[in-house]
Amino acid sequence: MSAARWSWLGPASFVVASTLFVAAAAIGATNGVARNLADAVAFLAYGAIGAVITWRRPRNRVGWVCCAMGVSWQIYLFASTLGLTLLRREGSIAAVDAVLWLPMNTWLAGIGLAPLLLMYFPNGQLLSPRWLPVAWANVAFALLGVLIVGSSTGALRTKSPLLPASGPFYDLIALLYSGPPWTLLVFGLIAAVALVLRIRRSTGLERQQLKWLGYGGLVAVMVATVIAAAGSLGWLGLERGTRQPSAVFLAGIPFAAALTLVPISMAIAILRHGLYDIDVIINRTLVYGLSTAAIAITFFGGIVVLQTPLRAVTGGSELAVAISTLASFAFFQPLRARIQTGVDRRFYRAR
Express each pLDDT in 202-225 by its tens digit.
888 888 888 888 888 888 877 777
**Among residues of the chain, what percentage have pLDDT more than 90?**
21
Express each pLDDT in 278-329 by its tens digit.
677 777 777 777 777 777 777 777 666 666 666 656 555 666 667 777 777 7
Average pLDDT value for residue range 94-113: 76
Task: Report DSSP letters for 127-142, one per residue.
Answer: SSGGGHHHHHHHHHHH
Whether 249 has a pLDDT exceeding 70, the answer reads no
* Spatial distance between the Cα atoms of 67 and 46, rounded to a whole number of angstroms: 7
Average pLDDT value for residue range 34-58: 86
Three-state secondary structure call for residue 122: coil
**Among residues of the chain, what percentage have pLDDT more than 70?**
69
Average pLDDT value for residue range 163-180: 63
Window from 44-48, 124-128, 176-180, 219-223 with minimum mean pLDDT = 176-180
Q: Indicate the pTM of the whole model.
A: 0.75
Task: Report DSSP letters for 55-118, one per residue.
Answer: HH-TT-HHHHHHHHHHHHHHHHHHHHHHHHHHHHHHS--TTTHHHHHHHHTTHHHHHHTHHHHH
Work out whether strand 151-153 and strand 156-158 pair parallel, antiparallel, or are unpaired: antiparallel
Whether 136 has a pLDDT exceeding 90, the answer reads yes
Whether 95 has a pLDDT exceeding 60, the answer reads no
pLDDT of residue 250: 62
